[in-house]
Amino acid sequence: MRQQMATYLYALQNDLVRIIEEIDPKITFNRSNWNQRSKNSTGGGTNCTFDNGKIFEKAVVQVNVESGSLSPFQVIEILTTKPPLQIISKSLNDKFTYYKASLFSVLYPQNPNIPTSFLDLAYNEIKNTTTGKIYWWFSGGNDLSESSLFLNPQDKLSIKKDNLIIDFFQKFKTELDEFNPSYFHQFIKEGKDATFMSHRDEIRGVGGLYFNDLNDNKPQVLLSTVIQCFAQKTYQHYRPLIEKRGKLSYTLSDKEKQAEKNSRLVEYELVSFNKDIINFMYYQNK
């Protein structure tokens, strides 16, 4: 599954790059690779970045593949919110390894009437090399972050969802219901939790669809259903927002509000530090 997911994400990255260039032919594109090796981890990936387009101010499609070792205490910390801890034995001398293949995409539109789009997909695996037990899961999802033009100023937790936003989520509901009728409501709930900024008591955007611990079927089945749905449909369902809202006019003040909102997104990533494998690699394994 490791190699299958990595291969899939790199192919998906190329597909998403092609779609961005199709939507915004004049945008400036740059591709770079990275590799890192430390005492307890190795990693590499490809960053595709875009700047100064007619439609998008900036865009990123990034693929990372990392692996390394973890202490039992790190494993407990990572899995603290996940149901099974059976891969942890009573011995704290057990050895553990991790693997993560992930894709992250964000689209920052020029027109503040168009929401910023996020897509995040990952396959995660922790192995107890002493006992041979493996715990794996998929994580990720998507969300839309409006500028203040479409937010209710009287209530930070209330979003004015127009028909385009409703259609975006309704299409995903129809598609996810084919796999499991409970997925949509489960992902919406996790999306609300994922996009809520507790330190500001406000929602990051209009919410989204997120899954933090998806492993209720064989990994190959989930890859060909849920993961593929998010991978192929997020940009597709986002395009009507670009095409229709992109025709709306805006002012300099609107752009300033958009910039302020986007700065909150950076703030969110810093404050809402997610205890996942990639963070442990960078901050604890060095």
- What is the per-residue burial (b if ≥16 Cβ within 10 Å, else e) of 121-140? bbbbbbbbeeeebebbbbbb
Q: What is the Cα–Cα distance from 191 to 187, expressed in whole angstroms? A: 6
pLDDT of residue 149: 52
pLDDT of residue 107: 97
CA 13 to chain centre: 13
* 171, 174, 277 from 182: Cα distances, Å: 15, 12, 27
3-state secondary structure of 96: strand
Q: How many separate domains does the chain show?
A: 1
Q: What is the Cα–Cα distance from 17 to 239, expressed in whole angstroms? A: 14
- Give 164's DSSP letter: H
Q: Provide the residue range defining the domain that includes 184.
A: 2-283
- Give 139's DSSP letter: E
Q: What pTM did the predictor assign? A: 0.87
pLDDT of residue 66: 94
pLDDT of residue 260: 80
Q: What is the Cα–Cα distance from 282 to 274, expressed in whole angstroms? A: 13
Give the pair of three-digit tokens for residue 234: 């997020």
Contact 116, 107 (CB under 8 A): yes
pLDDT of residue 57: 96
- Give 85's DSSP letter: -
Print pLDDT tens along the chain (286 aa): 999 999 999 999 999 999 999 999 999 999 999 998 888 889 999 999 999 999 999 999 999 999 999 888 788 777 766 655 555 655 677 889 999 999 999 999 999 999 999 999 999 999 988 888 888 999 999 999 876 555 544 444 344 557 888 899 999 999 999 999 999 999 999 988 877 777 777 777 777 899 988 999 999 999 999 999 999 999 999 999 999 999 989 889 888 888 887 777 767 666 654 545 445 444 444 4
Residue 208: give its domain's CATH number: 3.40.1500.10
Residue in the block written with tokens 């299409």: 171
pLDDT of residue 88: 61
Q: What is the helix, strand, coil percentage profile of the chain, to 5?
A: 40, 30, 30
DSSP H/E element including 274: none
